[in-house]
Amino acid sequence: MGKRVLIIGAGGVGNVVVRKCASVPEVFSEIMLASRTKSKCDAIAADIKNMKIQTAALDADNVPEIVALINEFKPDLVMNIALPYQDLTIMDACLETGVHYLDTANYEPKDEAKFEYSWQWAYQERFKEKGIMALLGCGFDPGQSQIYVAHAAKHHFDEIHYLDIVDCNAGDHGQAFATNFNPEINIREITQDGKYWENGEWKIIPAMSIHKPIEYPNIGPKESYLLYHEELESLVKNFPTIKRARFWMTFGAQYLKHLEVMQNIGITSIKPILFQGREIIPIEFLKALLPEPGSLGENYSGETSIGCQIKGIKDGKDKTYFIWNNCKHQDAYNDAKAQGVSYTTGVPAMLGAKLMLEGIWMKPGVYNTEEMDPDPFMSQIGGYGLPWHEEINPVLPHEY
């Protein structure tokens, strides 16, 4: 029997999520898409031919407003594809109404670029008592990257010791400077200090100060930068044998040059300034100048490659393992009118929601994706557009 889902957020990822949910009507029988800008929801809904998508205007910073919409539509699950600043207001509304919750990125306060799960993990007992579930960070990274680690732990290792999550976008969108997801979140993420886990503690480094070429399947070597990413926090908690965990992402020289100039003139700042008698936040102004990430898909060429390089022990012997997905931007556009970065985030969100609604991934409380059984996800994700590949005992960098 089909279920009702409320999807909050109509940007690049929200577009993918609603299209992929609509492609599985036997599970998602009724869909409502809500956003601050209702016209964005209406445009997506009008383009989906196989199902009538309901739309609504919603301020996701306003708990009573979210509660009212939930009470009106009565969804079985709320999918938060809005901004990370809004995670807690939407979780509060789900708690008040007794509805399951899923998101794709962890909470961060608006006035500080600080990524941490503590705020959301603090909801564990309240969600349990209410008998509802929250699935955190069910995009690709975070999300599918952690499911890859859970798959490796279940099928390939007795102990995981070293983990590198490697994320490459080798696409070309033809713009001088653009971000592949929300510019504000993207720029905050890469301009904060880098951080990685080693020997039981977090090591802090200046932003983008450690980098090296990494070989990506079907792409070749690309300069990759060590930065902090939220899934590291939950992975080292849930797999305590990990001695070192790092996250690497590629950036082109042109992107970094633009970013450096913007940082130097202060337009990436999140601190309010006074401009012509009113307060503005520079990075929000910058966001208004940049291309909408959802608009980049049509002319995007190339592909993404995201994977996990893992070393550990199996049956008393050293073992290495590499698992990854490559996604062509053009394939993503043909399937969901999106570029590959939005697509790789939106597809796992749909499948996570499907598994929750089917009762396969369902237990009251607050969980990260690696705490779920990886097998049902891994057996289905390829059929929805993100096939995975693995290599047993590949040669990994000598530093292992």
CATH for 144-336+385-392 (3.40.50.11260, 3.30.360.10, 3.10.450.50, 3.40.630.10): 3.30.360.10
- The whole-number pLDDT of residue 247 equals 97
- The whole-number pLDDT of residue 348 equals 98
- The whole-number pLDDT of residue 181 equals 54
Cβ proximity of 82 and 90 under 8 Å: yes
Determine the Cα–Cα distance for residues 333 and 290; give it in Å rounded to an integer: 20
Q: Which tokens is 46 given? A: 């009008």
The tens digit of pLDDT for each residue in 155-170 reads 999 999 999 999 998 8
Cβ proximity of 76 and 82 under 8 Å: no
- The whole-number pLDDT of residue 215 equals 96
Q: Report the C-alpha dihedral over residues 133, 347, 377, 314, rounded to 10 degrees.
A: -110
Q: What stretch(es) of the chain map to CATH 3.30.360.10?
A: 144-336+385-392
- CATH topology assigned to domain 3-136: Rossmann fold (3.40.50)
The tens digit of pLDDT for each residue in 15-60 reads 999 999 999 999 999 999 999 999 999 999 999 999 999 999 999 9
| Rounded alpha-carbon distances, angstroms, from residue 320 to 57, 150, 153, 313, 396 | 49, 15, 12, 8, 7
Which residue type occupies 38? K
- The whole-number pLDDT of residue 126 equals 98
- The whole-number pLDDT of residue 172 equals 66
Cβ proximity of 117 and 136 under 8 Å: yes
Is the torsion defined by CA of 303, 333, 283, 108 positive or negative? negative
Tell me the percentage of the chain whose pLDDT exceeds 70.
Answer: 91
The residue count for the chain: 400
| Rounded alpha-carbon distances, angstroms, from residue 115 to 57, 58, 231, 260 | 28, 25, 10, 22
Cβ proximity of 370 and 150 under 8 Å: yes
Spans in the chain with pLDDT lower than 50: 297
Q: What stretch(es) of the chain map to CATH 3.40.50.720?
A: 3-136
Comparing CA positions, the residue from 337, 343, 324, 334 lying closest to residue 139 is 343
| Rounded alpha-carbon distances, angstroms, from residue 323 to 167, 275, 400 | 12, 49, 17
